[in-house]
Amino acid sequence: MRRSAIYLLVMVSVIAVALFFMPLRLAVSMAGLPESQFSARDVSGSIWNGHIEKAQLGPFALGDLGASLQFLPLFAGNVRLDLESSAGSVDTGLTATIGKEGKNLLVENASTTLNVGGQLAPLPASNIDLDNVSVSFADGQCQTASGQVRLSLDSNIPGLDLKQGLLGNAECQDGALVLPLTSGSGMEILTLKLEGDGLYSARLLLSGNQRGWTLLLPALGFQKVPSGYAIKTVGQLGKKK
């Protein structure tokens, strides 16, 4: 009995030491990040105090991130990494938890600003603000989604007041992550759908028929529809258009 207790103590000690000195690079792989279009110039340090240099999620630059592993989820066989970067002069910083729970790839409580102008062109979009957004995917299918999203538009279109952007909450529909965003007046609606493989579609509808739109909106790529004007784009995250 005493020998068994000593053996168990030694094994626990070995595991504890191995965890303590585990490199962050290994934890990033265990968390499923390479499966979610995540990349970085360099990953260094330990799982308790690591550093990710020039992090990238698909086409979105996340900058330099501090990273640490959550300890308690390990007992259930789950991996969760807390990521954080400080706000700078040109960005708002980032906080998020990413990881893997069984087959589910998770993003939890993500708050940051992403520049989407180039990715969603020709839509007149500039930035997406995430406020405590959580999403889980399993086998490429959206399982759960929550949190508030705000899209900023960068075009000055007569008759529209879009200074506050388009606002909505993340949700899952038929296996896709969907962001149904509307303006304060409800006359402007953008629906963004993202599949697990990175395929996306986005449609912006401007309701109404302002006189100044007749020449301006078609020149921006909008098409006339019964309720106003609409523009749509499709693509895959990370691929240049």
pLDDT for 99: 86
pLDDT in tens, 30-50: 777 666 678 888 888 888 888
pTM, rounded to two decimals: 0.82
Higher-pLDDT residue of 182 and 56 is: 182
In DSSP notation, the chain reads -HHHHHHHHHHHHHHHHHHHT-BHHHHHHHTTGGGGTEE-SEEEEBSSSEEEEEEEETTEEEEEEEEEE-SGGGGGT-EEEEEEE---SS---EEEEEEEETTEEEEEEEEEEEE-HHHHTTS-EEEEEEEEEEEEEETTEEEEEEEEEEEEE----TT---TT-EEEE-EEETTEEEEEEE-TTS-EEEEEEE-TTSEEEEEEEEES--TTHHHHHHHTT-EEETTEEEEEEEEETT---
Q: Give the model confidence (pLDDT) of 162-218 as tens digits.
A: 778 899 999 999 999 999 999 988 889 999 999 988 899 999 999 987 888 888 889
